């Protein structure tokens, strides 16, 4: 069963929000679009991986997508963890296109117009296994047999493994062969390492310790705050700002009318700046004329509130918008 479902990566949502809030001819738009393309490619690969994992009988594994865990003063990220009483399997998904050559010290991607060199994904996933084992020991959890696989999710890519590189031959597969590879690993892990309570404790701790990655999107692309287009954007023509009149947002250009266009705008604020705000801050961003109207709009959304009256801070819910 899926203890942690696949979700859209926050950096992708941040990049898309930033693109929406810049003029189309802004000098950083090409760079942002390239970043969005790369992040979407990775996410599409994760969706293919998720499809394959959905075919595993629910009772066999606890499945976790996109865990980012602390160890010491740093974090490490794992694409997928499969946890059972017998084994913990770490999956690293790759959605690279073209011809992929895996050598002992590197991976080479070749397409029509590029040649890129990357870290060997087998070495990468071996490092993740070591970090995960250290994390388990650090948190006093039961020891368990662990293994890992590198899964290429793009059907059209050609995977070439250097002759004699047995470890890569055993640990690298395409997504359509993933279930067979998992069954192969299960043959080597018949011993029970955890009972149901252990599994529950590990699952609970993984979810509690998971720390989603957020980036300072303005700093990443060197964008000035003054470059950001503020106001509620029209859902039809994307003009900003819309005008608020009698509980409705109205577009002065295309005459579109919306009751909830402010929700996307608040989400953009949280993605671009920070996931919390005061009435004054969001009122300024949305171009709302009064504190009373802002308070009314915020009262219709399930925000976590901290503080009292003018000092109230609204925190973005985990599932928003």
pLDDT in tens, 163-183: 999 999 999 999 999 999 999
Res. 319: pLDDT tops 80: no
What is the model's pLDDT at position 113?
Answer: 86
What the block records as the tokens of 77 is 């990220």
Digit-coded pLDDT (tens) for 52-73: 999 999 999 999 999 999 998 8
Digit-coded pLDDT (tens) for 87-142: 999 999 999 999 999 999 999 999 988 899 999 999 999 999 999 999 999 999 99
Pairwise CA distance, residues 212 & 276, whole Å = 15
Q: DSSP state, 185?
A: H
Supply angle C-alpha 245, 247, 252, rounded to 5: 35
Buried b / exposed e across 117-152, counting CB within 10 Å, b at 16+?
eeebbbbbbbebbebbeebbeeeeeeebebbbbbbb
What is the model's pLDDT at position 317?
Answer: 73
For the entire predicted model, the pTM comes to: 0.90
Q: Which residue has the tokens 């793009």?
A: 154
What the block records as the tokens of 154 is 């793009």
Digit-coded pLDDT (tens) for 289-315: 889 999 899 988 888 888 877 778 999
Pairwise CA distance, residues 235 & 240, whole Å = 10
Res. 13: pLDDT tops 70: yes
**How far, in Å, are 190, 253, 259, 312 from residue 207 at the CA level?**
26, 46, 35, 28
Q: What is the mean pLDDT of the chain?
A: 93
């Amino acid at each position: 069963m899926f203890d942690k479902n696949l979700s859209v990566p926050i950096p992708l949502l941040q990049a898309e929000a930033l693109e929406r809030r810049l003029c189309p001819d802004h000098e950083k738009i090409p760079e942002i679009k390239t970043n969005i393309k790369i992040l979407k490619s990775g996410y599409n690969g994760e969706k293919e991986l998720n499809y394959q994992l959905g075919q595993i009988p629910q009772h066999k594994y606890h499945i976790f997508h996109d865990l980012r865990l602390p160890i010491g003063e740093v974090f490490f990220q794992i694409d997928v963890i499969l946890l059972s009483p017998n084994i913990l399997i770490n999956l690293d998904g790759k959605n690279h296109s073209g011809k992929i050559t895996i050598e002992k010290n590197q991976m080479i991607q070749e397409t029509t117009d590029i040649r890129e060199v990357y870290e060997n994904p087998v070495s990468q996933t071996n490092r993740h296994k070591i970090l995960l084992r250290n994390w388990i020991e650090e948190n006093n959890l039961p020891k368990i047999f662990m293994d890992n696989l590198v899964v290429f999710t793009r059907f059209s890519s050609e995977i070439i493994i250097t002759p004699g590189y047995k470890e890569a031959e055993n640990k690298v597969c395409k997504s359509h062969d993933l279930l067979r590879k998992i069954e192969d690993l299960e043959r080597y892990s018949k011993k029970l390492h955890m009972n149901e309570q252990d599994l529950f404790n590990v699952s609970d701790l993984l979810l509690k310790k998971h720390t989603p990655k957020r980036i300072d999107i303005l700093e990443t692309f060197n964008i000035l705050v003054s470059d950001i287009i503020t106001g509620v954007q029209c859902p039809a023509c994307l003009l900003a700002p819309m005008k608020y009149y009698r509980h409705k947002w109205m577009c002065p250009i295309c005459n579109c009318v919306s009751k909830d266009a402010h929700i996307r705008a608040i989400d953009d604020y949280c993605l671009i700046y920070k996931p919390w705000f005061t009435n004054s801050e969001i009122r300024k961003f949305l171009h709302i004329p009064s504190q009373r109207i802002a308070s009314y709009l915020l009262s219709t959304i399930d925000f976590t509130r901290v503080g009292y009256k003018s000092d109230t801070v609204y925190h973005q819910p985990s599932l928003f918008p």
